[in-house]
A and B are shown apart, each in its own frame.
Chain A
Amino acid sequence: MALASGPARRALARPGPLGLGGCGTPTRGAYEWGVRSTRKPEPPPLDRVYEIPGLEPITYAGKMHFMPGLARPVFPPWDPGWTHPKFRRPTPVHEQPLYKDRACYVFHHRCRLLEGVKQALWLTKAKLIEGLPKKVLSLVDDPKNHIENQDERILNVIFHARLWHSTEDTPKRETYCPVIVDSLIQLCKSQILKHPSLARRICAKNYTLSTTWNRESFLLQVRGSSGARLNTKDPLPAIASKEEVEATKNHVLETFYPISPTIDLQECNVYDVKDNTGFQEGYPYPYPHTLYFLETASLRPHRLQPDHLRAKMILFAFGNALAQARRLYGSDTKVLEQPVVVQSVGTDGRVFQFLVLQLNTTDLASNEGVKNLVWVDSDQLLYQHFWCRPVIKKKVVVEPVGPTGFQPETFRKFLALYLHGAV
Chain B
Amino acid sequence: MALRVLTRAMGSLSLTTPAVATLSSSLLPAAQVTSSTLLQLPSSSLLLLCRPVLTSVALSANFVSWKSRTKYTITPVKMRKSGGRNHTGRIQVHGIGGGHKQRYRMIDFLRFRPELEAKPGPFEEKVIVVRYDPCRSADIALVAGGSRKRWIIATENMQAGDIILNSDHIGRMAVAAREGDAHPLGALPVGTLVNNVESEPGRGAQYIRAAGSGNVHGNSRPGIQR
Q: Which residues does A use to contact B, with CB under 8 Å?
A: 21, 24-35, 37-39, 114, 256-260, 262-263, 265, 267
Contacts and interface: CB of A to CB of B under 8 A. Distances in A.
B33 interface: no
A33 B204 CA distance: 13
Contact of B144 (A33, A37, A259): A259
B97 interface: no
A258 B163 contact: yes
Interface of B: 64-65, 67-72, 106, 109-110, 113, 123-126, 128, 144-149, 163, 200-204, 226
A35 B144 contact: no
Which of A25, A26, A37 gathers most chain B CB within 10 Å? Answer: A26
Contacts, number: 71
Nearest to A258: B124
Given A258-B123, A258-B126, A259-B146, A30 B203 contact: yes
A265 B149 CA distance: 12
Contacts of A31: 109-110, 204
Given A38-B68, A39-B70, A114 B144 contact: yes
Contacts of B128: 114
B163 A26 contact: no
Contact of B149 (A27, A114, A267): A114
21 contacts: A24-B226, A26-B200, A27-B200, A29-B203, A31-B109, A31-B204, A33-B70, A33-B71, A33-B72, A33-B106, A38-B67, A38-B68, A114-B149, A256-B126, A258-B124, A258-B144, A258-B163, A259-B147, A260-B146, A263-B146, A267-B147
A395 B126 CA distance: 54
A38 B70 CA distance: 8
Contacts of B126: 256, 258-259
Contacts of A24: 201-202, 226
A363 B124 CA distance: 31
Contacts of B109: 30-31
Contacts of A33: 67, 69-72, 106
A33 B65 CA distance: 12
Contacts of A258: 123-126, 144-146, 163
A263 B147 contact: yes
B67 A34 contact: yes
A37 B106 CA distance: 19
A307 B125 CA distance: 22
A26 B226 CA distance: 10
Nearest to A30: B204
A37 B66 CA distance: 11
Contacts of A256: 126
Contacts of A28: 203
Contact of A34 (B70, B125, B146, B203): B70
A262 B109 CA distance: 25
Contacts of A260: 146-147
A26 B71 contact: no
Contacts of B147: 259-260, 262-263, 265, 267
Contacts of B124: 257-258
A31 B204 CA distance: 7
A421 B78 CA distance: 52
Contact of B202 (A30, A35, A37, A267): A30
